[in-house]
Chain A
C-alpha cells in the first residue's frame, strides 16, 4: 500500500494516512536517516497532491511508540559544529514543509513521543494524544546536553506559552495526555483505539477561540517586559538547580531569548547553530556517553546459565531499619507484597515509617493516589516470625552488619524458604563469599547492595561469589531493572565497587583536614568539582561510626594504601556520629538540616590552617579514586570501565557532565594522571598514592581506559 519502507502512506477519501513505525520490528521508532528521508519525500508528495487532499493524519503502527525522537547514534556521530548545524537544518526543513501544508495536519500521538517526535508533532496543526499510560511527550534533549534542534524551541512556546515551554525544555521532563491537554499541547485526548477515527472530526474544524482567561494570559506573556522577567526567573532557577555546571540549559535560554522577535528562518538558523555547538561539546558527549551506558545496561551482560530464570514475584526483607524499610518500600512499589520481619513491633514500626516516608513525595506530587498509597503501604506485612516465607521468591536481608549474626540468620531462614527462592544480603561491607557458606544451597545466594536512601539512589550492586548460579545473577539483574534501578554486577571483595572507590575520597579528606586544610575549603573544592556534597557532609550522612567500621574492613582487606587518618575514630569517641546524632563535622537541626560547622569537630583539627589551591584539593581526592578504579579493573571486580563510571554516577552522584570517573581520567589524559599520582606518591604518601600497575600499563601502551 505504500511506496515507502519506513512510513506507510495511504490516501482514503481525500485524507492522507501516514503511519510511523511501519515495517519496524523494534519496539521503538526513531527518526533515523532513512525515516527522515522518507518523511521529506512524503512532505513533498503531500504538497504536490494538495489539491486532492483535505487533511493528513499521522499515526503509529506500534504498540507503545509514536516517534521516540532522533536516532542518538546520528548525533553521536557528529564530528564538527557544522555537521551538527547541518543535521538540525535538514530536519527543520522537513518540519517546515509539514507546517506549511495548506490543509489540516493532525498528529495522533500514541505511545512515546519525545524529542524529534514532539518537534514533528508541533509542526502539525493539531496534536491529539491517546489516553494510554505509555503516551508521553516532551523535549528531553537538555538531558543529553543538547538543545532541541528541529524547531522545538521555536514552536513549543507558540503552542503552550513561554513559561510552560521553558519548563518543559529546560527540565526535559515529559507530560502525559492529561497534562498535555491541560497545557494546550494536545487539542484533545482519545482512547488509542479510536484516536485515528476521531481525528477526522478535527478536519475543517476551526481552532477554538481563546477564552478571556487565555487571552489575558497571552497578553501578559506577550509583551517585552514580562518576557524579560520570565527569562530572568528561568535563568535564576537553572543556575540554582545546576550550580552553573551545565551549559545546555543556558544556551537554550540564550537562543530562545535572543530569538523572540526573529522570523522563522532566522530563528531556526540560530537554533541549528546552537545545536551544532552543543552536540560536539565535551559535556554533551559525556552525557551521550552516559545515555549509551544506560542503554547497554538494560541487557544482562551474562554469563547466561542453562536453567530457568527464577521469576521474582513475592518479596521479603529481614530487618526493618532504614535500609529494610526502604527495601520494603521498593518491593511494595513493585507489587511484591513484601513480608517484613524484625524482632518486635518497635523495630517494625521504624521500617513502616521509612517506607511510608518514601511514598510521601510521590503522594504530594500527586504521582501516587491516596488509594494506591494505601494499597501499596498495606501490602507490606509486618511480622516477627517466618510465616509465609514459603511463598517468598526474593528475600533481601538488611539486618545488623555482623558476619556471625548474618550467617546464623541465613541458615535459619533458609529452612523456611523454598529451594528455588533467591536469598540475598544488603551488606555494604562484609564478604559475600563468606556469608554464602552459611547456606545449604548457596547457588541461589548473592549480595544485593542498595545505597542509602533506597528511594533516591539508583544503583544496586549485585555481588557474586564462587558458587553463585548464573541464573541467580540474571534474575536479580532483571529484577533490579524492573524496579527502575541500575544494576552493576560486582565480584566479592572489600567494599565491592562503589565503597571501595569512595574510600580514598573519604580517607584523603581526613588527611587533608589533619594537614590543616579547612573543612570549608575541602567541601567547596569537591562541590565545585561537581560532587553532590563534600566528603565531610557525606561522612555525616553515612554516619561516622559506619565510616570507621568500613574503613577498617577496607584497610584489613586492601593493605596500607587504604589506611585512614585517625580523625574519624576520634570523632566517634566524642560521640560525634554525624547527622543521626545531630552532630558530626557539622551541626544539624531537628529536621536534619545542617546549621553550620560543629565546634567540637573543629577542636580536633590542627589550629594552624593551611591554604591549598582548589585544584590541588580536588586532585588529592580524585586521583586516588582513579588509581583504585584501575586496580579494580585489574582484579576484574567489574568487567568494564563503564561499570565503574555508572556505579559512581548512580551510586554516589559522581558529576554526570564529566561522563564518569574513568571517562574523566581519559579526557584528562592518563599520562598526566599517572605523573600527578607519582608526584603525590613522593610528596604526600608512598602507600596511598602508589600508582597502580594497571594504570602504568595503560600509559605504557598509550591506551585509555575506554580502549579496553
Chain B
C-alpha cells in the first residue's frame, strides 16, 4: 500500500439544529470547504479524481450529495462524486474509501468529508395520506377526485418524524438513547457520572474556543437569509454548565428510572467537514507540505442494542491491524454520542473481563485524561451524523499539529451496531 497524506482539513462551525445553520442546505456545508482546501493547496479544479461525501439524512433534492458538492465546489464537471452512508460514521467511511483508493495507487487526489443538515430532515406523510394523494392525482374526473378526497381522515395528517425514525434501530426496535440506557444499567453508570462527563465536555470546548484553538479547523460560513453574516464559531458549548444544573433535566428515553438526558447526550446538530487526501506523487507535483498521514482504519460490528460499545471493537481492530497500542497514541478521540456509552467504553478498556463480553481479549488500558477528547466532544460541539466521522479526523489532525505530537486514534459508535476507528500520524514538526 502506498502512503496517503492529508494536506488540508477543515470543518464548518457546528450549530444546534434549528439555529444558525438551519437554512444552509447540506451541500453548502461541504462545498465551500473543498473549494477552500483546493485553493489553499493550489490544486487545479481539473486534478481531483473523486469527491466522496458521507451523509445520513439524504435530502430529497440532492439524491447524490457527493456529486452536488463536487460541482458546487467549482470542480471540473468531469470529476466523479458520490455519497456514502454508514450512519454515524459516514464521514469516516468517506475518509477510509478515499484512503483505500489513494493507497492502492488508483487515485492521486481525493476530497473526502461529510455533511449533515439535521434541521432539514423532513417530516413524512403517513402511508394512508400518501395513498390518498396518489388516488387524487390518478383520478381523471372531478367526481373521482372528490371521491378520493372524501377518504381523508384527520389522523392521516399526523406526520412521521424522519429524524426520530432514523435514530431508531429497525432491527432491535430501540432508540439510540435506549441503547445508551442499556449500557448505563449494565455497567452501573450513574446519572452523576454521566452529567460530570457532559460538564467536562462543555468546559473543554469552551476553553478551546476562548483560546482560539478551534479557529484553525473552522472555516467561517455565510449564514442568514441574505447570506450576509459570517458564522465562525460553534453554537453549542454552554458556559456555566454544572452537574447541579444538569441534574434538573428529566431522563429523556426512560422517563421513570432512566439516567440519559438531553444534557448528557449529544445535541442534534448541523455541520460539515472535509479533508484532502493525496498520494506521494501529488505531494511532489504540487510541492505540498503534508499535514498528516493516514496509518489505517477499521470497522467492526456488534449487537445493535449495544451499539455504543462500537469504539471498543473498532479500536481493538485497528490496533491489531497496525500492531500499535493505546499507549502509542498521543491523542484519543471517542465520539460522545452519549456520556454513558463513552464511559462504558472507557471501563471496558481497563477491565479485561468486561472487554471479553464483547469478544475483545485484551484490556488496552486507561486513556489519560490529558489525551482524551481534549477540546471537548459531541456533547458540547454536537454530532452532525454524516459529518462527525470526518470531523473527528479534522479535529485530531489540527490538535496533533498544534501539540507537535505523533499519533492519534479517533473512533465512534455507529447506530445499527458498529464501530469505526482510524489512526493518523502527524507530520508537522
Task: Please list the residues of chain A having a beta carbon within 8 angstroms of any beta carbon in chain B.
Answer: 337, 339, 345, 348-349, 352-353, 355-357, 360, 373-375, 377-382, 387-388, 390-391
Contacts and interface: CB of A to CB of B under 8 A. Distances in A.
27 contacts: A337-B35, A339-B39, A345-B230, A352-B228, A355-B228, A356-B226, A356-B228, A357-B226, A357-B228, A373-B227, A374-B25, A377-B222, A378-B222, A378-B227, A379-B35, A379-B74, A381-B32, A381-B35, A381-B39, A382-B220, A387-B36, A387-B39, A388-B36, A388-B40, A390-B42, A391-B39, A391-B42
B216 to A, nearest CB: 12
Nearest to A337: B74
B229 interface: yes
Nearest to A345: B230
Contacts, number: 57
A345 B228 contact: no
B20 interface: no
Interface string B69-102: 0001010000000000000000000000000000
B232 interface: yes
B364 interface: no
A378 B32 contact: yes
A-B interface, 6 closest residue pairs, ranked by CB to CB distance from nearest: A388-B39, A356-B228, A352-B228, A353-B228, A377-B227, A356-B226
B28 interface: yes
A485 B72 CA distance: 27
Contact of B28 (A337, A374, A391): A374
Interface string B30-64: 01100110011010000000000000000000000
Q: Among B72, B74, B222, B230, which residue has the most Cβ atoms of chain A within 10 A?
A: B222
Interface string B1-33: 000000000000000000000000100100110
Contacts of B72: 375, 378
A390 B44 CA distance: 11
Nearest to A392: B39
Nearest to B39: A388
A388 B40 CA distance: 5
Contact of A352 (B32, B39, B42, B222): B222
Contact of A349 (B31, B36, B228): B228
Interface of B: 25, 28, 31-32, 35-36, 39-40, 42, 72, 74, 220, 222, 226-230, 232
A306 B416 CA distance: 66
A583 to B, nearest CB: 26
Given A339-B39, A391-B42, A349 B230 contact: yes
Nearest to A376: B227
Secondary structure of the A side of the interface?
helix
Given A377-B222, A378-B222, A348 B230 contact: yes
Nearest to B36: A381
B39 A378 contact: no
A355 B229 CA distance: 12
Contacts of B232: 345
Contact of B230 (A352, A373, A375): A352
A696 B74 CA distance: 57
A377 to B, nearest CB: 4
A339 B226 CA distance: 19
A387 B32 CA distance: 14
A11 B230 CA distance: 64
B201 to A, nearest CB: 26
Contacts of A381: 32, 35-36, 39
Contacts of B220: 345, 382
B24 to A, nearest CB: 9
Nearest to A390: B42
B46 to A, nearest CB: 12
Contacts of A374: 25, 28, 227
Nearest to A325: B228
A387 B227 contact: no
A387 B40 contact: yes
Given A353-B226, A381-B35, A387-B36, 7 more contacts: A348-B230, A357-B226, A374-B28, A380-B222, A381-B36, A387-B39, A388-B40
Contacts of B40: 387-388
A345 B232 CA distance: 9
Contacts of A357: 226, 228
A218 B28 CA distance: 48
A587 B35 CA distance: 45
Contacts of A352: 222, 227-230
Contacts of A345: 220, 230, 232
B229 to A, nearest CB: 6
Contact of B222 (A339, A382, A387, A388): A382
Contacts of B31: 378
Nearest to B42: A390
Contacts of B28: 374, 378
